[in-house]
Amino acid sequence: MTATIIDGKAFAGTVREKVAGHVARLKEEHGITPGLAVVLVGEDPASQVYVRSKGKQTVEVGMNSYEHKLDADTSEADLLALIDQLNNDPAVHGILVQLPLPKHLNEDLVINSIDPAKDVDGFHISNVGLLGTGQKSMVPCTPLGCLMMLRDHHGSLSGMDAVVIGRSNIVGKPMAQLLLGDSCTVTIAHSRTKDLADVVRRADIVVAAVGRPEMVPGDWIKEGATVIDVGINRIDAPEKGEGKTRLVGDCHFDSCAERAGAITPVPGGVGPMTIACLLANTVTACCRANGLAEPEGLTA
C-alpha cells in the first residue's frame, strides 16, 4: 500500500481561515479583537524561529500579538509578575510561555500561575484535569491538531487501536486522553516499553512523539495504518552541502509510507497544525471570556 499523505500545511490553512472568519465577526459584532501573548525566556534559536512564526500568523488572522522576550537569567519572581500582569490584562485572551524554560525556573510553578482560562497551551493542572475527566477545557495544541487530522481522515475513530509513543505532558499524555475520548483502545509506549515493535504492529493509529530521528521503521507499521509523526528533529544533511541540515520526523518516512494507509510528513504535517490550533484556542478563549458562543469545529 502506498500511503495518502495528510497535508498538515494545507489543513492548517483551512483552520486559519475559519479562525480569521471568527476574528472578523468578533470585531464587527462585538468590537473585540482577540489577543495572544507569547513569553520567551532566553535565546534558544529554534524557539525564536517558532515564536516569530506564531506572531506573524497571529497578526495574519487579525488578532493582536504581544511578544515578551526576557533574558535567559530572568528571575522567577519577575516572570511570575509578568504572567500576573497578563492574567489581569483584558486585551490578552491567550498566554503561552514557550517551553522549555531555563533550568533555574520551576516550569510547573510558572505554568500553573497562568489563568486557566487564558492557558491556550492547555498545560495548567486545571485544564489537564478537565481534559482527563472529559470536561470542557483548553486542549493542548499539538494533540488537538493531530486529532483534527485523524478525524478528518477517518470520520469516527471509535474502536480503533491507537498507540502513542511518548508520554510527555505536552504531547503523549494529552494525545492519549483525546484518543480515549474518541473511543480508541489506547496504548501509551515509552522508553521502558519492552517490545515496541510488537506494540506498534498492533496499531491502526500510530502517533510518534519521541524526539528520535526516524526511529520507527516501516516494518513496524501495520498495513493500512495511519501514522501521525509529531517528531521534529534537525539532522545533518551533508548531501545538501557543507554544514547543511534538514528536518525529519520520528518515523522513517519512505518505508512507513510504503505500508501505511495515511501518513503526515515532516515538515508540513503536525507542526503547522500546532500553530493553527494555538490560534483556534485563542479565539475559543476570547469567546468564553466574553460569554459568547464558541466557534464550532475548532475544539476537541
Ligand X SMILES: Nc1nc(=O)c2c([nH]1)NC[C@@H]1CN(c3ccc(C(=O)N[C@@H](CCC(=O)O)C(=O)O)cc3)C=[N+]21
Separation between Cα atoms, residue 118 and residue 97, nearest integer Å = 11
> Is there a binding annotation on residue 232?
yes
By the 8 A CB rule, do 96 and 65 touch? no
Q: Which residue is it, cell 475559519?
A: 18
Among 141, 163, 176, 225, binds ligand X (CB under 6 A): 141
121 is catalytic: yes
By the 8 A CB rule, do 273 and 265 touch? no
Among 65, 137, 274, 282, binds ligand NDP (CB under 6 A): 274
Q: How far is the CB of 198 from ligand NDP (least distance, A)?
A: 13
Among 57, 98, 137, 142, binds ligand NDP (CB under 6 A): 142
51 - beta bridge partners? none
Binding mask 93-132 vs ligand NDP (x if CB under 6 A, - otherwise)? Answer: ----------------------------------------
Q: How far is the CB of 204 from ligand NDP (least distance, A)?
A: 19
54 is catalytic: yes
For residue 232, state whether it binds ligand NDP (rule: CB under 6 A). yes
∠ CA 6-12-18, rounded to 5°:
130
Q: How far is the CB of 267 from ligand X (least distance, A)?
A: 3
Among 211, 217, 267, 299, binds ligand X (CB under 6 A): 267
Among 34, 116, 272, 295, binds ligand X (CB under 6 A): 272
Binding mask 236-255 vs ligand X (x if CB under 6 A, - otherwise)? Answer: -----------x--------
For residue 175, state whether it binds ligand NDP (rule: CB under 6 A). no
Q: Which is nearer to ligand X, 232 or 285 (CB)?
A: 232
Binding mask 177-216 vs ligand NDP (x if CB under 6 A, - otherwise)? Answer: ------------xxxxx--x------------xxxx----
For residue 271, state whether it binds ligand X (rule: CB under 6 A). yes
- Cell numbers linked to 132: 482527563
SS3 for the chain is CCCEECCHHHHHHHHHHHHHHHHHHHHHHHCCCCEEEEEEECCCHHHHHHHHHHHHHHHHCCCEEEEEEECCCCCHHHHHHHHHHHHCCCCCCEEEECCCCCCCCCHHHHHCCCCHHHECCCCCHHHHHHHHCCCCCCCCHHHHHHHHHHHHHHCCCCCCEEEEECCCCCCHHHHHHHHHHCCCEEEEECCCCCCHHHHHHCCCEEEECCCCCCCECHHHCCCCCEEEECCCEEEECHHHCCCCEEEECCECHHHHHHHCCEECCCCCCHHHHHHHHHHHHHHHHHHHHCCCCCCCCCCC
Q: Which does 99 bind (CB under 5 to 8 A by kind): ligand X, ligand NDP, none?
A: ligand X
Applying CB under 6 A, the span of 67-75, 78-86, 155-163, 271-279 interacting with ligand X comes to 271-279
For residue 168, state whether it binds ligand NDP (rule: CB under 6 A). yes
Catalytic residue positions, numbered: 54, 98, 121
| Annotated binding-site positions for NADP(+) | 166-168, 232
Interface with ligand X (CB under 6 A)? 49-50, 96-99, 121, 141-142, 232, 247, 266-268, 271-272, 274-275
